[in-house]
Structure 1
Amino acid sequence: MSHHVCANAVKIAQLITAESGKPVKWARIEVTRAVSTFQWAAEEARRWSGHLQRLDTDAGSTGRLALVRRAPRGPILGIAPFNFPLNLMAHKVAPALAVGAPIIVKPAPAAPLSSLVLGELLAETALLHGSWSVLTVTNDRASDMVRDPRLPVVSFTGSVPVGWSIKEMVPRKHVTLELGGNAAVVVCQDWDDEDKHRYAAERIARFSMYQAGQSCISVQRVYVHEVHYASMRKHIVEAVLALGTGAPTEDNTDVGSLIDERAALRVAQWIDDAVAGGANVLTGGMRSGTTVEPTVIEDTPAGARVLDDEIFGPVVVLCSTSSDRESFDRVNVSRFGLQAGVFTADLHTDFRASQLLNVGRVIIGDVPSYRADQMPYGGVKDSGTGKEGVRSAMDDLTDERVLVLTGIDMQ
């Protein structure tokens, strides 16, 4: 990476931290991922050539050959949230540029500056005029853009109610929705020694609390086989207490603040409601301004919002189960289905989890917070419709066009 690019990366990471409160260690990772997202798109654009299909295998199609290519559905409206203000914008812009589709992106009003910096960088390139635009408007004005017939494609990442309202608002448009989740982890019966427990606990602690839990694939629910519950509970609490809290500009800060005080108040209220219903807070639970302490809860009653809804805060709920099958069933009770993580060392359990869990992806041997930017990404149920991930998004933003050639000698 050149000195110029490195200098830009440092400044942009600092900007992400300044506007969103994201710890700078996570902001740096986000910048690196955004760079990779554009690199993947550039590589995929080189391979974006379509394919040939022989038709002369039918008696009535002698001498015919089909060229199957993909063409943009039309100009795109991309709407991105505040929690990954750079990389989620890259996931809108990079695939659109790769397929030649003009795109207007609307960043979240709470964190628009990263998108504007991305726009400045794109303005230094040789991209065609009008191939991209960054438009900072309030959320209520965005409805006019969603309805605008000149934008036949809407790619939205954000909250569940807003996402489905867009789908209902413009049923004839092509709409991709990347919505919420309350991601679950399953610790299986075969995950059966102390070192494995420590590893799983550290991953659960880190990725339930990173970015103050403001990620749709943050660990929120943990289902542990009863034979390992006491050990896992101990190690998870220890790992959560070991996380660094404080100013997001400090390198040793793992858990920062929420985006605003309203979000923090909501998270604190959900914790209080769970406790009122009989839940036990093992650590954390207190709020100060926009900051909520990293919180671990157990004995949570059925119907509690910390279990059923997306908390989008630094909270993880522990549950003991009598079997792996019970754990899988309880994961599926959720109205969300984005990703799940399964800690198992058994190959048969790997495939059984993939078969039984009604989610977009199952991550074996790790938490559901893993995302590679080139792989298909998207969920089922209330987690949305359609797929991102560079190549998947390129497919989603286009449709097939077929050219049939006649009189071709293919002997």
Structure 2
Amino acid sequence: MQVPARIGGRPVSADEWIEVLSPFDGSPVARVPALGAEHVAEAVAAASAALARGDFPQYRRAEVLERAAELLAERTEEFAVTIAREAGKPIRDARAETLRCVDTLRFSAVEARRLSGEVIPMDASASGVGRLGFALRHPVGVIAAISPFNFPLNLVAHKLGPAIAAGCPVVLKPAELTPVSAIRLVDLLVEAGLPADWISVVTGTGPDAGTPLVAHPVPALITFTGSVAVGRRIQDTAPRKRVLLELGSNAPVIVEPDADLDRVVAQVRLGGFSYAGQSCISTQRVLAHADIYDKLLHELKIAVGSLRVGDPLDEDTEVGPLISEAAAKRVEDWLDRARAAGAEVTGGVRHGTLITPAVVADPPRDLDVYRQEVFGPVVTVTPYTHLAEAIGLANDSDFGLQAGVFTADLGVALRAARELEFGGVLINQVPTFRADQQPYGGLRDAGNTREGPAYTVQEMTELRFVMVSA
């Protein structure tokens, strides 16, 4: 099945095509055109023309987003199957992503309706007496959006929804491994009434399509979700542009001795292994108090061993494949190094792109499986003796996206909220939880912005001060 890209409201093909394959069995899912710099330039020109027309007011933007949410809710299964096939995400998780995308569009519609400026009290100073001052929210301009493979629908919506609400046309470069969900979302937005040239989709590789998009002088803002290395390279390439980055993590969760261990085990079983751990906030580092470490480790191994691994289209599958065999081999190599370093590894056997869920007991702190982002079905468990030590272990990371704390003590919870150096601190919840309306984002190598439609719209607009003198 050939799925054309979209530039300036028209379908686009190319001489060369990219094969989109199922990560599970390598079967063909679709073919998309391999576009390059000339297509990027055409897409940016179309977006600039759409912005210049100025004929897409707030109420219409809200109506488009509201209608798109309705259409997506009606087609949940269709979109979920697309996600499961191209991303290898278990169908139950793919359905959940689709429903979250509905919410993201609805929240974006709300922001389109309530986008406003503010009145400035000019007579608060002597020089301002007799003058009226106000500030308006103005679209920042054309937006370049680069989305990742792991949430090929909802993370695209987190870029497109707020951009539409803010009044910014977009050139979208989706992940080359999972572009079909993004194209279909844009088609759905156009069906909902979006001007056909408002969003262009440029399919292709990072070097051929992504790099020219970042380097193009017109886009005023670049929004990127992906790896730390690529994100930092984008910053270096576009130093004069506004660059919004959502990057990586090795999310920790602290488990105090008074925690409900059944609840902890159930949540880590989900948070560490859903979508085979391929989430920026997948639970990776479990920090367990020494008093309950042995019991938690034992129960976690049993729980993780019961996870069903297999075909993402099977209703019973809980852990599907990694996105590629290369990704699976990297995780396998990190687990082999942990074994060689003397860590006890339960599970972690690779079969092509599938890896059985792994629990690594008290690994050395310098191992990649502990310090880096695994992005695979792996959880490490490390003992600590007092809360200050646990907070120190959690903070000892290049990342700072989200952290979790399980405790029955309100004082411990509040202390952790103050001292954990993360964009989000979740009490009695694994760090894998995300509500699409929250200010989601991190510190250090985790990124530099906050997503959630209300917060992204602020990033995608700028204040324009207006003063009227009598």
Q: How would you bin the TM-score normalised by the shorter chain?
A: over 0.9
Alignment partner of 1:233 is 2:301: no
Give 2:296's aligned amino acid.
M
1:107 to 174, 181, 189: 174
Instruction: Decide whether the 8 Å contact of 2:73 with 2:99 is kept in 1.
Output: no
Deviations 1:355-398 (A, max 9, x none): 11111100001100111111111110111111211111101111
Alignment partner of 1:21 is 2:84: no
Instruction: Name the counterpart of 2:155.
Output: 88
Give the Å deviation of 1:4.
Answer: 6.3
Instruction: Name the counterpart of 1:190.
Output: 258
Give the Å deviation of 1:351.
Answer: 1.8
Give 2:175's aligned amino acid.
A
2:229 to 161, 180, 184: 161
Give the Å deviation of 1:12.
Answer: 0.7
Instruction: Name the counterpart of 2:59.
Output: none
Instruction: Name the counterpart of 2:439.
Output: 376
Give the Å deviation of 1:157.
Answer: 0.2
Give the Å deviation of 1:3.
Answer: 9.6
Alignment partner of 1:223 is 2:280: no
Q: Pick closer, same or farther for the CA change 1:224–1:128 going to 2, 3 Å.
A: same
- Alpha-carbon RMSD across the aligned residues, in angstroms, is 1.5
2:466 to 383, 403, 406: 403
Within 5 A, what are the aligned runs for 1:74-85? 74-85=141-152
Give the Å deviation of 1:348.
Answer: 1.6
Instruction: Name the counterpart of 2:269.
Output: 205
Instruction: Decide whether the 8 Å contact of 2:101 with 2:157 is kept in 1.
Output: yes
> Within 2, Cα distance between the matches of 1:116 and 1:308?
35
> Within 2, Cα distance between the matches of 1:164 and 1:339?
20
1:9 to 69, 76, 84: 76
> Within 2, Cα distance between the matches of 1:251 and 1:188?
35
Give 1:293's aligned amino acid.
T
Within 5 A, what are the aligned runs for 1:38-117? 38-117=105-184
Instruction: Name the counterpart of 1:275.
Output: 339
Instruction: Decide whether the 8 Å contact of 2:190 with 2:196 is kept in 1.
Output: no
> Within 2, Cα distance between the matches of 1:134 and 1:171?
24
* Gapped regions of structure 1 (runs ≥ 5): none
> Within 2, Cα distance between the matches of 1:31 and 1:344?
32
SS class of match (2:75): helix
Alignment partner of 1:336 is 2:403: no
With structure 2 as the length reference, what TM-score do the two structures score? 0.83
Q: How many correspondences in the alignment?
A: 402
With structure 1 as the length reference, what TM-score do the two structures score? 0.95
> Within 1, Cα distance between the matches of 2:234 and 2:353?
29
Give the Å deviation of 1:271.
Answer: 0.2
Instruction: Name the counterpart of 2:239.
Output: 171
Instruction: Decide whether the 8 Å contact of 2:135 with 2:466 is kept in 1.
Output: yes
Give 1:61's aligned amino acid.
G
Instruction: Decide whether the 8 Å contact of 1:54 with 1:64 is kept in 2.
Output: no
Instruction: Decide whether the 8 Å contact of 1:102 with 1:131 is kept in 2.
Output: yes
Deviations 1:341-360 (A, max 9, x none): 00012222122112111111
> Within 2, Cα distance between the matches of 1:149 and 1:345?
53
Give 1:273's aligned amino acid.
R
Q: Pick closer, same or farther for the CA change 1:151–1:237 going to 2, 3 Å.
A: same
Give 1:153's aligned amino acid.
L
> Within 1, Cα distance between the matches of 2:190 and 2:267?
39
Deviations 1:93-137 (A, max 9, x none): 000000100111111000000011112111212223422111112
1:310 to 369, 373, 383: 373
SS class of match (1:348): helix
Misfit runs of 4+, over 6 Å: 1-4
Instruction: Decide whether the 8 Å contact of 2:297 with 2:361 is kept in 1.
Output: no
Q: Pick closer, same or farther for the CA change 1:6–1:40 going to 2, 3 Å.
A: closer
Give 1:222's aligned amino acid.
V
Give the Å deviation of 1:18.
Answer: 0.5
Give the Å deviation of 1:6.
Answer: 4.8
> Within 2, Cα distance between the matches of 1:353 and 1:218?
20
Instruction: Name the counterpart of 1:347.
Output: 410
> Within 1, Cα distance between the matches of 2:381 and 2:395?
16
> Within 2, Cα distance between the matches of 1:400 and 1:131?
22
Q: Pick closer, same or farther for the CA change 1:259–1:368 going to 2, 3 Å.
A: same
Deviations 1:214-249 (A, max 9, x none): 000000000011011112112211221222222111
> Within 2, Cα distance between the matches of 1:161 and 1:36?
30
